Structure formats: structure tokens, C-alpha cells
Amino acid sequence: MLNSKDYISGEAISKQLGISRTAVWKHIKALKDDGHIIEAHYGKGYLLAKLSDFLTPEKMKIGLECQVFASEMLHFVETSSTNEEVKKLGEKGFPEGAVVIAEQQIGGKGRLGRSWSSPNGGIWFSILLRPTIPPWKASQLSLLAAAALQQTLLKEYKLASRIKWPNDLLVEGKKICGILTEMKGEMDKVNYVIMGIGINANLQEYDFSPELRQGVTSLQMILGEKVDRVRLLQKYLLSLEQYYFDYLANGFKKTREICKRWSYTLSKAVTLYDNGKKINGKAVDIGEDGSLIVNVQGNLLSFYGGEVSTQETQ
């Protein structure tokens, strides 16, 4: 009724639906809370000005092809951090594949204790995993998330993004996605993993703070138009599910191939920090275990995490 060219009065809605005017008002408010823009004009009634593009479970479920992932889906218009929300689900015993999505995070977390800017328009979500792998392998899941997204962007938009080891996705050398994988476990057992992914989808330059602007970009900025966030997240969750179950069955091989093929880091001069010590070398390979292999003065050393900066080289 709201989705027409003309305003419709509250009275007409209440008559057609056989509900009170107060009930109509409550429904209108609920629709507004879900992000729909509804104009209310005194004397004329209501008009749907713009449908929400919120990533609500109702919308996400239509056309979602996942078998296991996202069977449980929570959506927040605003939350502190979806990783923190998934942590709660992990503690409560929610099943593998449970997803938490937020339109906006006010305490978005980045790697190495940094914050992650998460305004409206991005895709900010986390997924709960319960893999039967030793804890040292958990960091491979960040590369898996990056590989699955790299392939999704390639298929959906013919966009050739690059994977910056250990877990960023770059386009034109600027960050378009960040991944934060956290784990709750014991010495030899993973209880659960929280895979948190932030995709700069429909963001414009002004959505980023001036300090960030140089190093980041978004799908909208690169493609010149907004992307369908619902479709992108549906396709990505499917790809993520396929990579994940292939990983559990067959190991890290497939992820490693994608990470090598689309690497931003390999063949570049890199600077890393090992226990605070600065190390310069050339990135030459990604190990079968997911490590970055660096040639440091003729010796091949493996690195397992931390910050890597790159410089162009021959």
C-alpha cells in the first residue's frame, strides 16, 4: 500500500487491514526502524520514499544458497562490534555458521588493537566457526576469507583485487576489506573462531576520516556506482562456505593457490617486525602452512603474523 505513487492515509490503511490507527502508526514506525524512508504528510498520509537496503535476515534469506552458513542470522542497525556479538553466540553454544551483521559499528575492531571505521553503507559482519583444527592453523582462516572474497569480487564485478598477506584485500593499492580472526581455545584445541569481515562497499571518500583517506577505497568509489549489498553478501557467504568445507576436507591448498595467484605482497621488498626487531627482505612465497616466506640476506625465513609493509622492487 505504501509503495505507490500517491500518499495513502492512515485511515485507508487501517480500514483495508482491519487494524486500529495506533497499530498502523506502530507498523510505520517499525518499517522506519528497519531503514525504510517513509514520508508522512499531514492531511495526505504516508508514502514510501525509499526502500531500505539494510541487510536484514528477511532479505538475506531470499535467494541465499548456503547449506550451513547463515542458518542463524542476527542483524543490528547499530552495535559495538559484530565480533563481540559473535563471541557471545560462541559462548552460548550457537551452531557453526551463525552470522551477525551490523549496518554500523561504533566500536569496530581492527587488527593489532586498532579501531575499524564502520559507518552506514559498508558490510560489517562476523561468522562463528567451530573447526576441528589445531590452534596454530586458525590464522589460515583469515587467508581463506580473503581468498573467497577475492574470487567473489572477480566473479561479480570483474574486479581484480589483491590479497595483502596476512589478511587485507586491496584495489589499486588501497584497502577495500579487512579481516579480523579471533579464537577461543586451549593449547591443543579450538573452541570456536570468530571471523570478522569488513567490506568497504557503498562508501564515499567523505565517509572516511581524513587520516584514513589515502590508504582506503570502496567498491562504490572503484565501480562508480553502488553495489547491491544483499546480493554481494549472499554470494560471498556461499563462496566462504565452499572454501571453508573444502579446507576442512582437503586442507589449505586451494586457499594457498588463490593467495599466491592474487598476491599483493609476493615479489615485493618487505619490512616486518619480529619481536620488535625490524627485518627487511623480499617476499618470495606463501608456505603450505600459510606463512609468508621472506628472503632475508639469502636465508628463507617464515613469518606467521604481524604488520608487513611493502615497497616496489624489480
> Contact positions toward ligand BTN, by CB under 6 A?
81-83, 105, 108-111, 114, 116, 118, 124-126, 168, 178-180, 196-198
CB of 87 to ligand BTN, least distance (A): 10
Q: Give the nearer residue to ligand BTN in terms of CB position, either 45 or 150.
A: 150
Q: Which is nearer to ligand BTN, 126 or 161 (CB)?
A: 126
Of the pair 90, 178, the CB lying nearest ligand BTN is at: 178
Contact 132, 193 (CB under 8 A): no
Residue placing its CB nearer to ligand BTN in the complex, 86 or 286: 86
Shortest distance in whole angstroms from residue 43 CB to ligand BTN: 44
To ligand BTN, the closest distance from the beta carbon of 280 in angstroms equals: 23
- Structural Rg of the chain based on CA atoms: 22
Residue 232, CA atoms < 13 Å, CB-side half-sphere: 26
Q: Please, what is the minimum distance in Å from the beta carbon of residue 108 to ligand BTN? A: 4
**Composition of the chain by helix, strand, coil, percent to 5:** 35, 30, 35
CB of 207 vs ligand BTN, minimal distance in Å: 14
Residues 6+ apart with CB under 8 A from 118: 102, 104, 105, 106, 108, 124, 198
- Angle in degrees, CA 162, 163, 166, rounded to 5: 160
Give 125 or 208: the residue with its C-beta nearer to ligand BTN: 125
> Which residue is closest to ligand BTN by CB?
178
Single-letter residue type at 25: W
